[in-house]
Amino acid sequence: MKVLCVTCLTFLGISFGHAQLSPPVLFSEMNGIHFLEDGTALPIWGYGWTTDGFITLPGPLLHYQEGDDVVLAFHNPSPESHTIHLHGLDVDQANDGVPSTSFYVASGESTTYEFVATHPGTFLYHCHVTTTLHLTMGMYGMVLVTRSDGAIFENGPVVNQDVPLLFSDLEMATNLDPVGSFPFHDMRPDVFMVNGKSGSQLEEELIWTSPEAPTALRLASAAYSRIRCSFPSELNAQLWMSDGRAVPAEAIDSLDIYPGERFTVLIQPDEGYDGGFHAEFLHMIDDQLESTQWVQVKDNSLHPSNLISLQEPSVDWYPNPASDFIQTEVERNCKVWDSWGRLMFDGLIGADRLDVSTWPDGVYTSRAAGGKVSRFVVSH
């Protein structure tokens, strides 16, 4: 099951920074698009790896080992200033990512954030420039600090996989018109996400468990809502950590996660388990239930073949980058948008190559009917 674990982390953009000679560079952009469950393309701001060339919602998972001397390189080619606040990592003032007490990273500038990953656990990172707006636009991600011995903390339980589950929400009207979003106190989110996905999109986040060893759910919230997770007793859910520190272990059937909080919950359902848990999004002001999302959990004896089919739906483009034409092996119906969310192509692609010779340089996003998103670069 380590295979699937890595698969799902890869989808989130995991980077084993500690194992690489030159650290990867995180960058920020303000021209991304994010697909809602109904296919709507929504503008986002966010973070991505420069090697990927595109930003994602949430941003890439930053994965370190306990004790790592982390040098996080950050480049900001976007038109406005941004920062990275390392939420919960107790970094020093200079690396705290708060513009007024630390520093801005202005348009076109690069910097590095340096800190020691002193404690294993689950953390967040997010932009701290006009935080109200930049966070809801998508400038956040998870930081996971693990140990080489598989224990979640020193002398703690050993798990067979870490499953990052980052809760967030956004208000569509704000993403469609960020400048017109002021004043901010009447913000009321209307899209509710787990790892950037809602509803049927969450099928991709299906968690495969093993009866032999616990799975660590790394729960974190960058939402405006309060999240309430309800764990059926068959999951045998146990709370072990909060905010990157061990807490007295206890069996739980529900857990409230306030904005900015993180928890590590171990689950270990029996062989043959087929179920999951609900995550309710409750408004912070009036406690109104806004949305319920369902995270599927299955025992890995059930559908091993799904391991492969999960990989299939995205469109594989070549050559990438392309200058004149781009094509794909499998014939599919698909749409292509530019980085501003404008539809560039809608139709059947396969034997016929797509002529991109007149398209401006940039990152393009494609999606086949019912499939995952893939991206390609046009460069002349």
Partner 1 sequence: MGARPLTLMLISLSVKLTAAQVDSVWIVPGGVVLGGDTIAALRFCDSPQFQAQNETLEAWLGPWVVVNGDSVDHVLQMSEEGEPPILVPAGGSSTLNMAMPSNSTHRLRSLTQRGDLLGLETMVRGEWEDFPHYEWNLNEWDPSATWSLAALEEVDETEPYVPRQFTINDLNFPLTLEDSTAHVQTSVGDVVLISIANHGRMDQVLHFHGFHVEILQASAHENRVGWSKDTVPVKKGECVVVKLETNQSGEYPVHAHNLVAVTNAGFYPGGMITIITVEP
CB atoms inside a 10 Å sphere around CB 184: 12
Give least dist CB 319 to partner 1, A.
43
Return residues touching Cu ion (CB under 5 A): 82, 87, 127, 129, 134, 139, 260
Residues β-bridged to residue 192: 169
* Residue 186 touches which of Cu ion, partner 1, none (Cβ within 5-8 Å per kind): partner 1
**Residue numbers at the binding site for partner 1 (CB under 8 A):** 85, 87-88, 90-94, 96, 98, 100-101, 130-133, 135-136, 182-187, 224, 226, 242-245, 247-248, 250, 256, 258-262, 284-286
Pair 127, 28: CB distance under 8 Å: yes
Residue nearest to Cu ion (CB): 127
**Closest distance of CB 243 from Cu ion, Å:** 11
Ramachandran angles phi, psi of 75, nearest 5°: -125, 135
Task: Pick between residue 51 and residue 93 the one whose CB is nearest to partner 1.
Answer: 93
Which of 112, 82, 74 shows the shortest CA–CA distance to 98? Answer: 82
The minimum distance between CB 73 and partner 1, in angstroms, equals 22
Q: Could you count the other beta carbons within 10 Å of the beta carbon of residue 211?
A: 15
142 φ, ψ to 5°?
-105, 145
Residues 345, 370: contact at Cβ < 8 Å? Answer: no
- In three-state secondary structure terms, 352 is coil
Half-sphere exposure of 62 (CA within 13 A, CB side): 33
Query: Which has the closest alpha carbon to 113: 95, 93, 125, 101?
Result: 95
From the list Cu ion, partner 1, none, pick the one residue 135 interacts with, judged by a Cβ distance below 5 to 8 Å according to partner type: partner 1
Output the six-digit token pair for 338: 């530019």
Neighbours of 280 (CB within 10 A): 18
Instruction: Kindly state the smallest distance separating residue 196's Cβ from partner 1, in Å.
Output: 19
Closer residue to partner 1 (CB): 102 or 293: 102
Nearer to partner 1, 245 or 380 (CB): 245
For the residues of 113-139, what is the DSSP string, one character each?
Answer: EEEE--S-EEEEEE--STHHHHHHTT-
Least CB distance to partner 1 at residue 184 (A)? 5
**Partner touching 139 among partner 1, Cu ion, none, CB below 5 to 8 Å by kind:** Cu ion
Q: Which is nearer to Cu ion, 94 or 289 (CB)?
A: 94
Token pair listed for 247: 């807490």
Report what 197 binds from Cu ion, partner 1, none; CB cut-off 5-8 Å by kind.
none
136 binds, among Cu ion, partner 1, none (CB under 5 to 8 A by kind): partner 1
Q: Find the shortest distance in angstroms from Cβ 191 to Cu ion.
A: 19
